[in-house]
A and B are shown apart, each in its own frame.
Chain A
Amino acid sequence: MNRQSGSILRNTLTLIVVVLVAWQALYWIVGDIALRSPLQTFAFAGKFMSTPQFAQHLAETSKAFGLALLLAVAIGLTIGFTLGASRFLSDVFEPMLIALYSIPKITLYPILLLAFGLGMSSKVAFGTIHGVIPIALFTITAVRNVKRVYLKTGQVMGLSPLDMIARIIFPAALPEIFAGLRIGFSLTLIGTLLGEMFASQRGLGFLLMSAIGLHNVDLIMALTLLLTVFAGTASVVLLALNQRLYARS
């Protein structure tokens, strides 16, 4: 277990070195018109992070992302447990969820804007619709794959339906559910950011979009770096936790 999370750390460090080297090389080739070197980007990002403007947008994005994640997890788990427990319901609805998963959700942003208006609720909605379906789909499979003998054991012990979920189904299905949460986390984050890019006037996504519009390379690079570092750290931590869960079962 420790060896495994240790190797994730080592792999991540190797990857970071490779990316930095490639980035610097690309900078030498492309030059200043479209790119900043890693050092310049780190310096600008450091300076930018101490401005009140950054804090304000960060707070806005964190709030939107937090709400979207909460909604995506709550709705996703509810759908997942309901459909996972019933063969019939999952037969009816699972293909519909898969079809929804496959649509390019980015095209839906004008509809969300019209429905929710420009601001917090539409980007929360955008984040939620990105994250909810993978969480639901993974949970359905996880619940369905719980070994029959565990369920029979629970029945023999006379567990109530609620105990059955809390003490048997949830722990048994946890590694796979967690894999869904990990993907849901990433997609909710990108959904929220895309929502901010296209349907908001506040937040880091909006900042990125306006930097793209103004061709402010320093800001584009710094924001991309910060967002990537945040998403990367979270993903790697979640991945390590997930492998730990799988190793246990």
Chain B
Amino acid sequence: MRSPLLWRLLVLAGFIGLLEALCLGGVIKPLTMQPPHKIVTDLVKMLSSGSLNGAIAKTLGNALIAFIIAMILGVTSAIIIHRLRRVRDTLEPLFATYYAIPVFAFYPLLIILLGLGDAPQIFIGAMLGIVAVIVNTLNGLDRVPNVLLKTARVNQMGPVETALRVTLPCASPYILTGAKLAVAYSLIGIIGAEFIMSSGGMGYEISFAYNNFDNATMYPLILLILVVSITINMAIARWEKALMAKRGLR
């Protein structure tokens, strides 16, 4: 009866139940938070009416583009940086500092450089995600055993084929760790930028609803973002776990 999954579900159910009770009992005012069941029904209503589908598609679409850019550029740069010891050492302090820098401060600059469209938002999302991808990919590349690289040479493989067939598969669990973070960071980048300055998207709709005390729109949108990010994260984590299990790790 000590199944962790069961207990996790119990804890979650207990937490939601508590929120529900506090909201219905009036301890948490309706202006602060809607009871959970109402958030869910509002979300279903919102999605089926399709009133905000445009905003949802815009935000998630942009986040997806930012994520893909962060992954491709991040993995490629990591492979290059990994071979250049000096460059890597120099970048180390930047990696350590990066996530304490308020990247959103560059948003106005990006708007001037890239125009008022989706491009500056995607840029911020990709910029936030890429360092997490680089750092984790480097970590994975560090762990590729030397003997596998020798094997690649004995099999007469060039640098590109070695990367595609030996180093990247070997480092893939670590790259997936970076991918999980990149998902969160591209969403943070897009939604944060939409909060600051935008004419559409989920971030804009959330702050618009907040300013108008429209909790029936705000909470379902927040819930949707949480559900989407947790679902993607869990899917990647499951994949990662399967890879590790296949290698007899963990």
Q: Direct A–B touching in the complex (beta carbon < 8 Å)?
A: yes
Q: Which B-chain residue is minimally distant from A9 (CB atoms)?
A: B93
Instruction: Flag whether B44 is at the interface (Cβ < 8 A).
Output: no
Give the docked Cα–Cα distance between A103 and B109 (Å).
Answer: 27
Instruction: Flag whether B57 is at the interface (Cβ < 8 A).
Output: no
Instruction: Flag whether B31 is at the interface (Cβ < 8 A).
Output: yes
Contact A107 B92 (CB under 8 A): no
Q: Determine how close the nearest CB of chain A comes to the CB of B199; give it in whole angstroms.
A: 15
Give the docked Cα–Cα distance between A189 and B102 (Å).
Answer: 9
Contact B187 A104 (CB under 8 A): yes
The SS class assigned to the A binding surface is helix
Give the docked Cα–Cα distance between A224 and B206 (Å).
Answer: 26
Interface size on B, residues (CB 8 A): 54
Q: Which A-chain residue is minimally distant from B236 (CB atoms)?
A: A102
Contact A236 B96 (CB under 8 A): yes
Give the docked Cα–Cα distance between A181 and B194 (Å).
Answer: 30
Measured as residues with beta carbon below 8 angstroms from the partner, the interface class of chain A is 35 or more
Instruction: Flag whether B11 is at the interface (Cβ < 8 A).
Output: yes
Instruction: Flag whether B4 is at the interface (Cβ < 8 A).
Output: yes
Q: Determine how close the nearest CB of chain A comes to the CB of B186; give it in whole angstroms.
A: 9
Give the docked Cα–Cα distance between A157 and B69 (Å).
Answer: 56
Instruction: Flag whether A162 is at the interface (Cβ < 8 A).
Output: no
Instruction: Flag whether B250 is at the interface (Cβ < 8 A).
Output: no
Give the docked Cα–Cα distance between A183 and B97 (Å).
Answer: 9
Contact B113 A34 (CB under 8 A): yes
Would you give the 0/1 interface string for B185-201, flagging 1 where the beta carbon is closer than 8 Å to chain A? 10110011001110000
Partner of B108, one of A182, A220, A234: A220
Add 13 more A-B contacts to A92-B4, A106-B192, A212-B108 (CB < 8 A).
A15-B94, A34-B109, A98-B233, A102-B229, A107-B222, A110-B206, A111-B33, A111-B222, A212-B105, A220-B108, A227-B105, A235-B97, A236-B96
Binding site for B on A (CB under 8 A): 7-8, 11-12, 14-15, 18, 30, 33-35, 88, 91-93, 95-96, 98-99, 101-111, 113-115, 182-183, 185-187, 189-190, 193-194, 197-198, 205, 208-209, 212, 215, 217, 220, 223-224, 227-228, 231-232, 234-236, 238-239
29 CB contacts below 8 A, A to B, read: A8-B92, A15-B90, A30-B109, A34-B108, A35-B109, A91-B4, A93-B8, A102-B180, A102-B230, A103-B226, A103-B230, A104-B187, A104-B225, A107-B222, A107-B225, A108-B222, A109-B195, A110-B207, A110-B222, A111-B222, A114-B32, A183-B99, A185-B100, A187-B100, A189-B100, A212-B108, A224-B102, A235-B97, A239-B96
Binding site for A on B (CB under 8 A): 2, 4, 7-8, 11-12, 31-33, 89-94, 96-97, 99-102, 104-109, 112-113, 180-181, 183-185, 187-188, 191-192, 195-197, 203, 206-207, 210, 218, 222, 225-226, 229-230, 233-234, 237
